[in-house]
Amino acid sequence: MKQSVKVKLLDLVPQYERIKDEIFEAIGGVLSTQQFILGSPVETLEGRIADFCRVEHAVGCASGSDALLLALMALGVREGDEVITTPYTFFSTVSSITRLGARPVFADIDPATFNIDPASIRDSITARTKAVIVVHLFGQTADMDPILALGGERGVPVIEDACQAIGASYKGRSAGSMGSVGCFSFFPSKNLGGYGDGGMITTDDVRLAQNIRILRVHGSRERYFHDFVGINSRLDAIQAAVLTVKLGYLEEWNELRRERAAYYHELFSEVPEVTVPPVTEGNVPVFNQYVIRIQRRNECKAFCIENGIGCEIYYPVPLHLQKCFSSLGYREGDFPEAERASRETLALPIYPELEKGQQEYVAERITGFFQGRL
Ligand SMILES: *Cc1c(COP(=O)(O)O)cnc(C)c1O
């Protein structure tokens, strides 16, 4: 019989219990207006996110996946174009490209940080490269300076997929404020999670922001008059109200995640079999996930589950090897570091309310697994 869960991978209940009254009030405020699509709650959140990320404009939309799609649409990406990105990310970083008929061109990752390797981007740029999407994976930003320099040199805009990195910073600059466009997700498991789907796009470029505002409402500047074919991708007022409440706590919650990451670091410091995620110079990560690298990963995962420890593999199949992308012609061996990461990584429980005793239990079990003491 499977043992009951002792430590969940993510538990949102304690956070909800703490802010319940504020949430009820915020949702009640929206219900009393009976205005559910966009409107002033969304405008308020857009302003707050723009301030938080230190950008000029923020535009709400229906999901992080749509944020990526809208960003590419606004940059004019279309059939025949190439977009460079990482094969080691969530699916929609890449499906946003193929949905527009453009071709994803993959560049391998840095094995230490799991983020796209700037040198590998340089090798992949062609005359058809229309954009680069970098992903700030697990909440730590990619090495942006060389990437932005390369983008500037070649006239290629850089999109930041910051869905896992709201509040993270790189050399004092906020995730989502460094490239031409930043994309955020408010999926419930993100550091700023709504009570359903939601997303946001950030930019300093007023024209891009205006275009995205039009594209998210079917491409109409004025209702029923369509200059472009856009999509239906709006943020709900109820989600915006919830997110505005939660944004007030985000900095504190991100700090608590960093403290928990530091404690795991300490707990695993004498366990050479476990490689903990490094924090690179100039980076302030937000640990949307806490991902270790280990051998015998699948065995260790099964062992964790048996011991009531929630854990997950992000991501078991790199995107160049997904069946739906087989027509791109990539093969096993093309991106060795992404492939190795897919075999060796395991995400452990992390969230602001995670208790020390729970972390000690996780570390004690995993240490026992590797050192044969169990
Ligand atoms: C969550 C996530 C997305 C997609 O966000 P949704 O809101 O679920 O559509 C895209 N990219 C990355 C890296 C993500 O983690």
Domains of the chain, start order: 13-107+114-247 (3.40.640.10), 250-371 (3.90.1150.10)
Based on its alpha-carbon atoms, the radius of gyration of the chain, rounded to whole angstroms, reads 21
**Which atom of ligand 1 lies closest to the CA of 288?**
15
**Which atom of ligand 1 lies closest to the CA of 135?**
13
Is the minimum distance from the CB of 135 to ligand 1 under 6 angstroms?
yes
Residue entry with tokens 């174009």:
81
List, for residues 176-217, the tens digit of each pLDDT value. Answer: 999 999 999 999 999 999 999 999 999 999 999 999 999 999
Ligand 1 pocket mutation pick from 163, 186, 201, 231 by most atoms within 8 angstroms of CB: 163
State how beta strands 345-348 and 290-293 pair: antiparallel
Which protein residue's CA is at the shortest distance from atom 3 of ligand 1? 64
pLDDT given for residue 191 in this prediction:
98
Is the minimum distance from the CB of 63 to ligand 1 under 6 angstroms?
yes
pLDDT given for residue 372 in this prediction:
83
Q: What is the H or E stretch that residue 41 is in?
A: helix 40-53
Ligand 1 pocket mutation pick from 93, 95, 314 by most atoms within 8 angstroms of CB: 93
Residue 148 alpha carbon to ligand 1 centre in Å: 22
pLDDT given for residue 373 in this prediction:
60
Is the minimum distance from the CB of 197 to ligand 1 under 6 angstroms?
yes
Which protein residue's CA is at the shortest distance from atom 2 of ligand 1? 163
Residue 252 alpha carbon to ligand 1 centre in Å: 22
List, for residues 233-278, the tens digit of each pLDDT value. Answer: 999 999 999 999 999 999 999 999 999 999 999 999 999 999 999 9
pLDDT given for residue 30 in this prediction:
98
Residue from 134, 198, 140, 205 nearest 166 by CA: 140
**Chain Cα centroid distance, residue 230:** 24
**Which atom of ligand 1 lies closest to the CA of 185?**
7
pLDDT given for residue 344 in this prediction:
98
Residue 272 alpha carbon to ligand 1 centre in Å: 32
Is the minimum distance from the CB of 164 to ligand 1 under 6 angstroms?
yes
Whole-number Å distance between alpha carbons of 209 and 213: 6
Residue 197 alpha carbon to ligand 1 centre in Å: 10
Write the single-letter amino acid at 342: S
Residue 96 alpha carbon to ligand 1 centre in Å: 11
Does the predicted model carry a pTM greater than 0.95? yes
Cis peptide before 315 (omega within 30 of 0): yes
Residue 207 alpha carbon to ligand 1 centre in Å: 25
Is the minimum distance from the CB of 203 to ligand 1 under 6 angstroms?
no
Query: Would you write out the chain's pLDDT as a tens digit for each of its 374 residues?
Result: 455 789 999 999 999 999 999 999 999 999 999 999 999 999 999 999 999 999 999 999 999 999 999 999 999 999 999 999 999 999 999 999 999 999 999 999 999 999 999 999 999 999 999 999 999 999 999 999 999 999 999 999 999 999 999 999 999 999 999 999 999 999 999 999 999 999 999 999 999 999 999 999 999 988 899 988 999 999 999 999 999 999 999 999 999 999 999 999 999 999 999 999 999 999 999 999 999 999 999 999 999 999 999 999 999 999 999 999 999 999 999 999 999 999 999 999 999 999 999 999 999 999 999 998 65
Residue entry with tokens 């897919």:
342
pLDDT given for residue 2 in this prediction:
54
Is the minimum distance from the CB of 347 to ligand 1 under 6 angstroms?
no
Angle in degrees, CA 348, 136, 74, rounded to 5 = 135
Ligand 1 pocket mutation pick from 88, 90, 114 by most atoms within 8 angstroms of CB: 90
